[in-house]
Structure 1
Amino acid sequence: MDDEFNVTYITFGGHVEVDKYRYVYFVIMFIVYVLIICSNSTIVYLIWVHKNLHEPMYIFIAALLLISVLSTAIYPKLLIDFLSEKQIISYSACLFQFHVFYSLGGSEFLLLAVMAYDRYVSICKPLKYPTIMTKTTVSIFLVLAWVLPACQIAVPAGLSANTKLCNFILKGVFCNNTVYKLQCVISKARFIRDMIILVNVALVPVLFILFTYTRIFLITYQNGREVRKKAAQTCLPHLIVLVNLSCLCVYDVIIVGLEPVFPEIVHLIMTLQIVLYHPLFNPIMYGVKMKEISKHLKRLFCQAKMK
């Protein structure tokens, strides 16, 4: 629907009894919003202030947790919608939300791939580690991890801006791949192009990570028990985060097709899992499983209790 300024607006149709439970939704989402920002920011802060954490692995972890903070960019709109009479968004803002959501997801996959390479060099080529993982190399990896997905996701987002819409009600509460259901026609060429982008930003990094960790485990298996233990301690958190992220990625694709199958409330809960669960999972995983980070967290909380 277009107003006098020729702006197309989309209505979020995924809310369930928002008039009745608006304050319940708002309080729950606001608490989660604060928890995500505080938990991720705390670990980023610890990595920033402690010199013994100024290593490539921890810098990549900080970048990963920063993505979790930035992924909450959709939360203010969600919170506003819960308190609003109408849950609407301009189509251009919806596409921007789509772009940010999937760009950050792609960046997370690439960062996990970089972290896998970092662990491979550290464990399998320890003597060459200082010359390979230099500050310049780390900076290049970080820039590429942020820029490449953003540039690739900009293609479908930009082309969608000029696509004719036949539906103005989005069956969700934020703009993910359900945006495609608004469009009248999705050509075979566009479908193939989007599949190529998905392979580039998700599947290729996952395959690289699996190959790299397989190499690590094969090499460490031939060495002593202590080497295997050290490899497991540093690699396991990254693998768990990868499995979690990959499951959510598949889940995000499948949930669109399952939308007619489940009741509205079940579909709403399933949709919110994508933006609730993972940003809280990462800081817990790295805060508990990474020994050095866990040590600084305990000191921080002990100091807070003493005050």
Structure 2
Amino acid sequence: MMNNATVFTEFSLSGLKDITTKNRVILFSLTLLCYSVILLVNVALIMTIILDEKLHKPMYIFLCNLCINSLYGTAAFYPKFLFDILSDTHVISYIGCLLQVFIIYSYASCDFSVLTVMAYDRYVAICRPLEYHSVMTRHRVAFLVGFSRLVPLLCQAIVVTMTSKLTLCGSQIEKLYCDNWSILKLSCNSTTANNIVGFIVIFFYLGHNLFTMCSYVQLVKCALQSREGRKKFLQTCVPHLLCLLNATVALLFDLMYARYGSASVTQSVKNFMAVQFLMIPPILNPVVYGLKLTQVRYSLLNLCRCNKQVKGLN
């Protein structure tokens, strides 16, 4: 097999191989609209939290981190994808491919980390309200933000470094973007070590979900004991659960399809399955929190009113 090995400097992305001229315009317009909405809702929520001092609290800081992460992850996909839609050749450099893998999957991992940290914050707020300010200090919040950002980066750095050492026998990736599993399938050598590390990372972040579920068992028990607890649970925990469920289903859909997907599935279905975690969570998360969290909603509306008043005075 080693005789077929070649040093590749770029990969071909075949996800758009069946696109027609008519579909190209429609797809470009819809993709641009989707990315514009992602930028708008996430930047709006980030700016609202930054500008309103009332929102300088742990829960909103974590929410801001979640929105920043959405901008980070989608930036690795949408600009390149928009360019590919208008281009007749869909290629990406070897280094660019590895960078795309690193950013997209560190974004996905970071989403789980941030949602887990937010679950811990809600657990302390509802189950240990008298200790909340002594537990969620500035230093603790800074540590949790750092944990939710740096650990995913470290995990994906290990995965991508191991992938970069593989000798490849092909350069055709059957997706709209680069992902680690697609590169592993091109390897001339055994990828057992890569698969083991990959599954360890997956189970590590599924462990985050398990921790979150355990936290919510305690949250429900505490919330049922008082009217104030139930109110706080409905206001802050329901949107968190929706976002966690959304992120989990979307990413598992992509991971399981990448490894076990059927070749008989149409290309359009494959494409949707591949990009949904880059499309649905970045839009849904800020919208859910922006609509459900009363303080965020009021702050956002006040910010819009102030901008209108300033424009009126000018």
TM-score (normalised: structure 2): 0.90
1:54-69 to structure 2, matched below 5 A, reads 54-69=56-71
- 1:12 counterpart residue number: 13
The separation in 2 between residues aligned to 1:142 and 1:12, in whole angstroms, is: 35
SS in 1 for 2:185: helix
- Shift of the 242–279 alpha-carbon distance from structure 1 to 2, 3 Å rule, reads same
- 2:242 counterpart residue number: 240
Q: Which moved more, 1:99-108 or 1:262-271?
A: 262-271
Question: 1:255: how far off?
Answer: 2.1
Instruction: Check if 1:249 corresponds to 2:251.
Output: yes
Listed one character per residue, the Cα deviations across residues 26-50 of structure 1 (whole Å, up to 9, x for unaligned) are: 2221111111111100011000011
Instruction: Check if 1:107 corresponds to 2:107.
Output: no
The residue identity in structure 2 corresponding to 1:132 is V
1:93 to 83, 93, 96: 96
| Aligned residue pairs, count | 300
2:220 to 217, 233, 257: 217
Question: 1:184: how far off?
Answer: 3.0
- 1:33 counterpart residue number: 35
1:145 to 135, 143, 148: 148
Instruction: Check if 1:125 corresponds to 2:145.
Output: no
SS in 2 for 1:18: coil
Question: 1:297: how far off?
Answer: 2.4
Question: 1:301: how far off?
Answer: 4.2
Identity of aligned pairs, percent? 31
The answer to whether the 8 Å contact 2:12/2:92 transfers is yes
The separation in 1 between residues aligned to 2:193 and 2:86, in whole angstroms, is: 40
The answer to whether the 8 Å contact 1:13/1:169 transfers is yes
- Shift of the 303–17 alpha-carbon distance from structure 1 to 2, 3 Å rule, reads farther
The residue identity in structure 2 corresponding to 1:144 is F
Instruction: Check if 1:169 corresponds to 2:168.
Output: no
> 5+ unaligned residues in a row in structure 1: which ranges?
1-5
The residue identity in structure 2 corresponding to 1:135 is R
The separation in 1 between residues aligned to 2:56 and 2:307, in whole angstroms, is: 24
The separation in 1 between residues aligned to 2:54 and 2:16, in whole angstroms, is: 46
- Shift of the 192–246 alpha-carbon distance from structure 1 to 2, 3 Å rule, reads same
The separation in 1 between residues aligned to 2:245 and 2:228, in whole angstroms, is: 25
> 5+ unaligned residues in a row in structure 2: which ranges?
1-6
Instruction: Check if 1:23 corresponds to 2:21.
Output: no
The residue identity in structure 2 corresponding to 1:148 is V
Q: Which moved more, 1:297-306 or 1:77-86?
A: 297-306
- 2:4 counterpart residue number: none
Listed one character per residue, the Cα deviations across residues 165-200 of structure 1 (whole Å, up to 9, x for unaligned) are: 122110101112333222234433332221111122
Question: 1:302: how far off?
Answer: 4.5
The separation in 1 between residues aligned to 2:297 and 2:227, in whole angstroms, is: 23
Task: Give the CA RMSD over aligned residues.
Answer: 1.7
TM-score (normalised: structure 1): 0.92
- Shift of the 259–137 alpha-carbon distance from structure 1 to 2, 3 Å rule, reads same
The residue identity in structure 1 corresponding to 2:57 is E
- 1:188 counterpart residue number: 192
The answer to whether the 8 Å contact 2:222/2:229 transfers is no
The separation in 2 between residues aligned to 1:149 and 1:269, in whole angstroms, is: 25
